[in-house]
Amino acid sequence: MHVVVTGAAGYVGRALAHRLLDAGFLASQEIDYLTLLDRTFDSPPATATTMQRTIDLTDSAHLRAIFRERPVDAIFHLASIPGGTAERQYALARSVNLDATLSLLELCQAQVDGGGPMPLFVFASSIATLGMLPDVVDDNTPMRPRMTYGAHKRIGEILVDDFTRRGWVDGRSLRLPGVLARPPGRTGQLSAFLSDLMRELAGGRPFTCPTGPSATTWASSLPCVVDNLVFAASAPSDAFASERALTLPTLRFSMQEAVDAVGRIFNTPARELVRWAPNAQIEALFGAFPPLSTHRADAIGFRNDGDLDRLVRRALAGEDSLMSYS
């Protein structure tokens, strides 16, 4: 079995690669080759059958070479240009978020048309596809993205649906929520303050939050998201029916609830350390999430963190603890 992960040096991609290496199996099949794709890598591959390829995903020749070496059985397509950067750099976002996604899908098509296996295609979409949110979000909520990133992810979902219908991939698109807690550094993601809030307050350091205390958000821990990505590749194809995109179960909580949970778990004076400085744009995009119902994903078997305290513990445990969670 040959598994490919794009965006494999990123926050979620690195954790997913660790999980796959640790398990050695995907969907009850032994992983013979794991190919990790990204622009740069910080460390060498962990095993002789793990191949790190430093490539430009927008160069279709690079991608064709991966498929020529050996047939691809499963792809986790995580690579993307996120929200804030996509707004500022449209051409770059289009080339990575749209053109590279289409190139990967068409390479899967060519493999099937040439008599090869139909790849499993797990596409990391985003709740940014939802855009304008009603009072309650459920499986019937229309997609009305308000940012280029969300529009690109919605187009990717439609492409995965169509290529699945035509028998070129077995696609599953997961709308990921905020993933916590990302390491410090510039990521181009406007929602990065959520990770910063938890990490700084847990360390007993002051933090200025760009929302008010009553602002509400959706988020999951990194281990929870990795669990759901792996589960997506293991669930039976017919469980997804004709609509292959779904919103993952996640927790909804207020910023004040997050502050209190961090203070409670790490025994820091979190309420005293936080200063509220609401930014209208940030609050509109990331601080007004309504109740969420995910019946389709729940029925298939996807899960959230369970409760906010567990989310905070898992989010701040670090990547070394990824394998200890189920």
Residue 200 within a domain: no
**Secondary structure of residue 175 in the 3-state scheme:** strand
User: Residue 170: CA atoms inside 13 Å, Cβ hemisphere, count?
Assistant: 16
d(CA 312, CA 323): 17
Phi–psi pair at 170, nearest 5 degrees: -105, 90
Catalytic-residue membership of 149 = yes
Count up the domains in the chain and report the number: 1
Q: Are 148 and 80 in contact (CB under 8 A)?
A: no
Do the domain assignments include residue 284?
A: no
**Lookup result for tokens 């602002």:** 215
**Cβ atoms 130, 145 nearer than 8 A:** yes
Q: What is the CA radius of gyration of the chain?
A: 19
Closest to 193 measured CA to CA, from 149, 259, 136, 263: 259
Q: Are strands 74-77 and 50-54 parallel, antiparallel or unpaired?
A: unpaired
Q: What is the DSSP string of 267-283?
A: T--HHHHEEE---HHHH
Domain of residue 156 covers 2-177+219-249+291-303
Active-site residue among 11, 90, 149, 325? 149
User: Which CATH number characterizes residue 89's domain?
Assistant: 3.40.50.720
Residue 144 belongs to some domain of the structure: yes
Q: Flag whether 296 is in a domain.
A: yes
The answer to whether 293 and 221 have CB atoms below 8 angstroms apart is no
What are the pLDDT tens digits along the chain (326 aa)?
A: 999 999 999 999 999 999 999 999 998 899 999 999 999 988 776 676 788 999 989 888 989 999 999 999 999 999 999 888 899 999 999 999 999 999 999 999 999 999 999 999 999 999 999 988 999 999 999 999 989 999 999 999 999 999 999 999 999 999 999 999 888 766 556 678 999 999 999 999 999 999 999 999 999 999 999 999 999 999 999 999 878 999 999 999 999 999 999 999 999 999 999 999 999 988 988 889 999 999 999 999 999 999 999 999 999 986 444 433 32
What pLDDT is recorded for position 46?
62
State how far the Cα of 116 lies from the Cα of 237, in Å rounded to an integer: 19
In-domain check, residue 49: yes
Query: Which pairs with CB-CB distance under 8 Å and at least 24 residues apart come from 58-63?
Result: 58/95, 58/96, 58/99, 58/100, 60/103, 60/107, 63/100, 63/103, 63/104, 63/107
Strand intervals (E) in 69-212:
74-77, 120-126, 170-176, 178-180, 207-209
- What pLDDT is attached to residue 321? 44
313: β partners: none
Identify the pLDDT of residue 65: 93
CA-CA distance, 173 to 72, in Å (whole number)?
Answer: 18
Model pLDDT, residue 60: 87
The reply to whether 141 falls in a domain is yes
pLDDT of residue 190: 65
Quick check: bond before 181 cis, omega within 30?
A: yes
pLDDT in tens, 137-148: 999 999 999 899
Is residue 85 within 8 Å of residue 145, measured between CB atoms? Answer: no
Kindly report the backbone phi and psi dihedral angles of residue 50, in degrees, each rounded to the nearest multiple of 5, phi listed first: -100, 125
Residue 87, domain member (yes or no) = yes
- Flag whether 167 is in a domain: yes
Burial call 171-183: b when 16+ CB within 10 Å, e when fewer = bbbbbbbbbbbbe
